[in-house]
A and B are shown apart, each in its own frame.
Chain A
Amino acid sequence: MAIHSVVCVKQVPDTTQVRIDPDTGSLIRAGIPSVINPFDLHAVEAALRLRDEHGGTITALSMGPPQAEESLRKVLGFGVDRAVLLTDRAFAGADTLATTYALAAAIRRIAADQPVDLVICGKQSIDGDTGQVGPGLARRLDLSQVTYICELESLDSDAGIIRAWRQLENGRELLEARLPAALTITETCNRIRYASLPDMIAASDKAIETWGMNEIEVERDHLGLKGSPTRVSKIFAPPVRQRGEIIIAADSSPAAAAAAVMDRLAERGITFDEGDG
């Protein structure tokens, strides 16, 4: 049985490049490039591997401003079959609850064309860092929920069963889930492939479907900021620790510098002279 996967991808500011203005303490957003959320690329890869093995199709779905088309085009370059961009001013300001509301409606429409077996997301986005969209979609669409997958063990497409390992703090567990399922994928789950040139060329001509709120079945009140229970009440720079004592090793010697620091630690009650402690 061929598998139809919907992969959710988000275009995010590259937070590794975000800087704080030391004078104003504000976020420097200017010039921060937008990238595909890196975890979502692992989700795409997971879908591609399942398709390699079992056949089927992959639909990429994103919600964001029109520029998010860039990310979808990159995903198409990996050989994804179809791409849908949810874009509408009504979606703006959505928290994760309002986001999953709109995404779920879009997935229902995609499923109307072709039944969906898997909804695959990255474990979290690097800008929001919440990890709430995958589980949220599982609940809204009544899918089996398997999150933080570190290894996809097997898929029995005929029986409609998927097995996956997920990483916990104290170990890892193997879960078995009935399809349709919602999966979230961690970076250790796979290595992202190097897309082939023909796929990349083909992607540049492929159409990206753009849906607004009128293209999906939604109520205006549940969308965007209006449909979001949370509000950001304040944004501020993290408090900074005070700069301490700086020792220039070249002024004395490495040994003297090390001894000086060990003395300071001893003054604060931290010693390591109790044998092999």
Chain B
Amino acid sequence: MAGDVWVVIEHEGESAANVSWELLGIAARLAGDLDSQPAAVILGDGDNSDFLTRHAFSYGAATAYVAGNKSLTPFTAGPHSQALAALARKYNPEIILLGATTRGRDLASAVATDLETGLTADCTELEVDPESGLLRQTRPAFGGNILATIITPGHRPQMATVRPGVFPLPQAAAGATGKVVASKPRLAKEQRVHRLQFLPNPEEEVSLHGADVIVAGGRGMRKAKNFIMLGDLARELGGVVGASRGAVDAGWVSARHQVGQTGQTVRPILYIAVGISGAIQHVAGMQNSDIIVAINNDPDAPIFDIADYGIVGDLFELVPAFITEIRKRKDGAGAREAAV
């Protein structure tokens, strides 16, 4: 039997990053193919691990490796990598998965170096090769223009980070239990890096990740002012405004709105691309949307190749037309409700 498939749970106190639970779903699948077990790794001060452990079990972990040490809270890469490397040396996991977040990538890189093993960043697909039993790690490369499948033939564990939102959240099974392996790693008392302060993002910040509807604008918007009407449309649809790199580079909207290879990967129910030509860098970040609507005046724009519905026309006429149409439908529905 192969070693376990580990998922390192990224958390701040009791609040875990969604991507960690997404990864437990894929870990269960990989473990099934390898005839091994999915496991969660929870590194922290050991005080509030119960809550996270319960969640880990409910999302499919068979084992929870819980390492507790004061130096592990708050997260800094040094002690976390020492603790994780020590656990890995002791229990020999087959695979270690982490979210491709700031901390996940930070920690994974350090641990892979310590363990002198391979690490594949930002995977979009993970599967076990049925013949060799190797983890086939597929990721975009060259700015999203190609996909590369990477393997780690002669080294263990096989390590990968996965972007948030790439895999769906697994069904939680309430009340599921598993084995807890607790440890108290010995770490240097004097740490070289300390966290002094944490400032959460302001509430009103756009959150592309997790939005059901995204209305995104590109170079075709021509100027910052025109993003106002995209905001209007997004509001009507209960969504948020996104942007292509071109629009961000031009300074029309802030980088927080950027969707794409260098921005965020999103998978909303509805993605409306307005004045976006559809460069691969952008497409790489939104092609997993359920439905894509594209508005562009260029019939040859590549965005139409991936759109479910494309409208060739002047966006400065079409966006207002959409707003009018949606309001009309809402009024109609409101009137019907009133009549009932």
Contact = CB atoms under 8 A, between A and B. Distances in A.
Nearest to A135: B109
A233 B325 contact: no
Interface in A76-102: 95-97, 100
Interface stretch (A3-11, A45-53, A174-182): A174-182
Contacts of B308: 241, 244-245, 264
Main secondary structure of the interface of A (DSSP, over half): mixed
A163 B197 CA distance: 11
Interface stretch (B65-73, B116-124, B214-222): B116-124
A246 B311 CA distance: 6
Given A27-B142, A126-B143, A135-B77, A254 B305 contact: no
A198 interface: no
Interface size range on A against B: 35 or more
B224 interface: no
B116 A229 contact: yes
Contacts of B313: 248-250, 254, 257
A248 B312 contact: yes
A142 B144 CA distance: 33
B112 A247 contact: no
A272 B201 CA distance: 29
B322 interface: yes
- Which range holds the interface residue count of chain B? 35 or more
B229 interface: no
Interface string A237-270: 1101101111111100111011101101100101
Q: Tell me what chain B mostly uses at the interface: helix, strand, loop, or mixed.
A: mixed
Interface string B319-340: 0111011100110111000000
Nearest to A257: B311
B189 to A, nearest CB: 14
B191 to A, nearest CB: 9
A257 B147 contact: no
B305 A273 contact: no
Contact of B136 (A228, A233, A245, A270): A233
A130 B113 CA distance: 13
B102 A20 contact: no
Given A97-B116, A246-B310, A249-B317, A163 B333 contact: no
A196 B320 CA distance: 48
5 nearest A-B residue pairs (beta carbon): A249-B313, A15-B143, A273-B333, A229-B118, A135-B109
13 contacts: A20-B145, A97-B119, A130-B105, A139-B110, A168-B101, A170-B201, A241-B287, A241-B306, A247-B309, A247-B311, A254-B320, A257-B318, A257-B321
